[in-house]
Each structure stands twice: as structure tokens, then as C-alpha cells.
Amino acid sequence: MAQIERAEYWAQKQDAKQGNVKLYVYRKHAAGLQKDAPVLFLVHGSSASGRSSFDLDVPGRNDYSLMNHFAGLGYDVWTVDHEGYGRSDRTDSHSGIASGALDLAAAMEIVKRETGQSSVFMYGGSSGALRAALYAQQNPGCVKRLMVSALVYTGEGSPTLAKRREKVEEYRAHPRRKVDRAFVHSMFTRDKPGTSEMIAADALADAELALGDTVPNGTYLDMCANLPVIDPLKIACPVCIIRGEYDGIAAETDLLDFFAKLPSKDKQFVFVSDLAHAATLSINRHKFWHAMTSFMAMPQNRALAT
């Protein structure tokens, strides 16, 4: 594999209540990157920051970093820690889906400045799927192709959200919630134990708990009380929905309804066996990465004969 280089940046988001919020932006690419290399932006979920989620260092292993994988394929790979997560400013904001879309807009200013490109491939998982989809909805032309996993649309039929709704008033009352090693483990085991190696769960816990033991509640609150937060009819770019076999965040009927409403005919719904919610860090993550690669590598349309 080519030598992988990394860089760190700080984006600035102006918020009416919080003022100037600093967001940690992280980048990886192969040495000697071509100027016009394709840009891939990765959007994290509700309970772990971007760098930990997508550039995880698992002791004794070198095959868990999604960023290294795609950097090795020639992509210029970026992520951001959303407000209240990881290395970004920890405010008293709930940091919900709408806030996350604004984070992406702020981070994309750094991407545009550093790469000269205004349109990127974008992937988001779980609440990151909602953040990424809302950004694509609000910023037509800025996302070439959108990939989402662990997506939820209306929430109807979701066993995971039904359980979370038991604490919805707690989410309303408190902007942040505690996380610990047991919680991180549950991210890998709640749907189907055995779909992930627990060495990955421990590595993620080590990385995240070193940064803090609380995360914002906003995405949980949005998914429990405010769905739908995106409108598939307003997402114009090509979309790939990747569905892990055991993921409990959404019912298949809910996702298929969303898929049917997407206006672009350049769209895919990919079912992947033996994957659960923590798909990008699962035992079969390479199948997931393959689905992403195939969708991004789709040839451009050629004009039809007249």
C-alpha cells in the first residue's frame, strides 16, 4: 500500500446561541495524491466521533481503518467531529441532525479550499446518514453520490427506536448522555452478537473514552420524536442505501418506501448479509466497503442515441 499521509484542520461554525464553534476536520490520502483525486467525505453517527469511527487503530491489526482503505484506492478521504463530539468544541447544544448538516457545510468549506473541488462523494452511517442526506438535500450539487447505511426514515417498525423512546423525555431534558465501555460494546452486540470482533469494540472504547465520557443527545431525540427529518423527494443526487442483514435501526419497509421516493433513477438498494448496525467495523466490513467502491466507480452516463 502507498504511504498514507494525514492532516488536521479546524472549521468554524457560527451559531446564534453558541457563537463561534470550532470543529475538528481530519484528512487522509496517499502520498503524491493527484490534484483532481476524488474526494470522499465520511459522516459519523450518534455515539462516536469521526476519526475514531473511520480511522480506528486496532492493536495487532491493520485492516480496520476505512480511511486508509479508501486512501489506498486513490481517494482523498475526509471526516469531521460534529459539535459536541471528539476533538470539536463541547457545547451545551443537543447537536441534532440540523446542526450536523451545518457542521458539514462548515467542514466542506475547508475541503473546497484544500482540494479545489466543490462536489464530493459522501457516506453517512446511522444518524450520520441523516446528517449527510440533509446536507445533500440542502446543498444541491455538492454531493456527487450519497451512500447511507443504518438509515431511518419515519422510524415505523424500528425495534431499536421503540426501545429508545422510553427515554425520550430524558433526551429532551439533558443535552448530553453518558457513555462507557459497556455502551460501546452494545453498539457491536445489540442486533446480532458475533457479527463484530470485540477487539474492535475495545479499540473504539479506548479511542472515544480518552476524549470524554459524554456525547450529545440531539440525534437520539430527533430519531425518537422528530422523524422524518429528511425528504427523499428533495435529494437529487444518486443515492445508495446499504442495508445490513441484522440492523435493527429501521424496518425494511420504511427504507424501501424512502428508496421509492428518491427522484434519481441512478440509485441502488444493497442488502449485505451478516452485517449488523456497526457495519463499517464488522467482521464482514470489506463487503460493505466493496458496495461503496462499486457505487462510487459507476461510469458516468453517456448521451443516448437520437
Domain locations along the chain: 4-296
Confidence class for position 81, pLDDT limits 50, 70, 90: very high
Residues listed for the chain:
306
How far apart CA 215 and CA 86 sit, in angstroms, is 9
* Max CA separation in the chain (angstroms): 62
pLDDT digits over 59-70, tens only? 999 999 999 999
Rg of the chain, C-alpha, whole Å: 18
pTM score of the predicted model: 0.97
Confidence class for position 35, pLDDT limits 50, 70, 90: confident
Looking at residue 253, its pLDDT comes to: 96
**Residue 16 confidence (pLDDT) above 80:** no
Rounded mean pLDDT of 244-251?
Answer: 94
How far apart CA 158 and CA 162 sit, in angstroms, is 6
Residue 96 and residue 12 in contact, taking contact as beta carbons nearer than 8 Å? no
**Residue 9 confidence (pLDDT) above 70:** yes
Cβ-based neighbours of 297, under 8 Å, separated by 6 or more: none
Looking at residue 19, its pLDDT comes to: 84
List C-alpha distances in Å: 157 to 124, 162, 253, 272. Answer: 21, 8, 8, 20
> Percent of the chain at pLDDT above 70?
100
Rounded mean pLDDT of 80-91?
Answer: 97
What rounded mean pLDDT belongs to the chain? 96
Kindly provide the residue ranges of all beta strands, DSSP E only, lying in the chain, ordered along the sequence.
4-15, 19-30, 39-43, 76-80, 120-125, 143-149, 176-178, 214-216, 239-244, 267-272
Rounded mean pLDDT of 124-144?
Answer: 98
> Percent of the chain at pLDDT above 90?
94
How far apart CA 268 and CA 237 sit, in angstroms, is 12
Residue type present at position 179: V
**Residue 18 confidence (pLDDT) above 80:** no
Rounded mean pLDDT of 253-274?
Answer: 97
- For the stretch 205-232, what's the b/e string if a residue is b when 16 or more beta carbons lie within 10 angstroms of its beta carbon? bbbbeebeeebbbbbbbbbbeebebbeb
Provide the terminal-to-terminal Cα distance of the chain, rounded to the nearest Å.
45
Residue for cell digits 426514515? 153
Cβ-based neighbours of 231, under 8 Å, separated by 6 or more: 137
Residue 93 and residue 216 in contact, taking contact as beta carbons nearer than 8 Å? yes
Looking at residue 1, its pLDDT comes to: 62
List C-alpha distances in Å: 133 to 151, 187, 206, 219, 262. Answer: 10, 22, 29, 14, 11
How far apart CA 236 and CA 264 sit, in angstroms, is 6
**Residue 87 confidence (pLDDT) above 70:** yes
CATH value of 4-296 in 3.40.50.11780, 3.40.190.10, 2.40.50.180, 3.40.50.1820 = 3.40.50.1820
Give the other-Cβ count within 10 Å of 245's Cβ.
Answer: 15
Rounded mean pLDDT of 50-57?
Answer: 98
Residue 108 and residue 142 in contact, taking contact as beta carbons nearer than 8 Å? yes
Looking at residue 303, its pLDDT comes to: 87
Give the other-Cβ count within 10 Å of 94's Cβ.
Answer: 20
Looking at residue 80, its pLDDT comes to: 98
pLDDT digits over 154-203, tens only? 999 999 999 999 999 999 999 999 999 999 999 999 999 999 999 999 99
Question: Residue 250, SS3?
Answer: coil
Looking at residue 110, its pLDDT comes to: 98
Q: Which has the closest alpha carbon to 1: 96, 70, 101, 77? A: 70
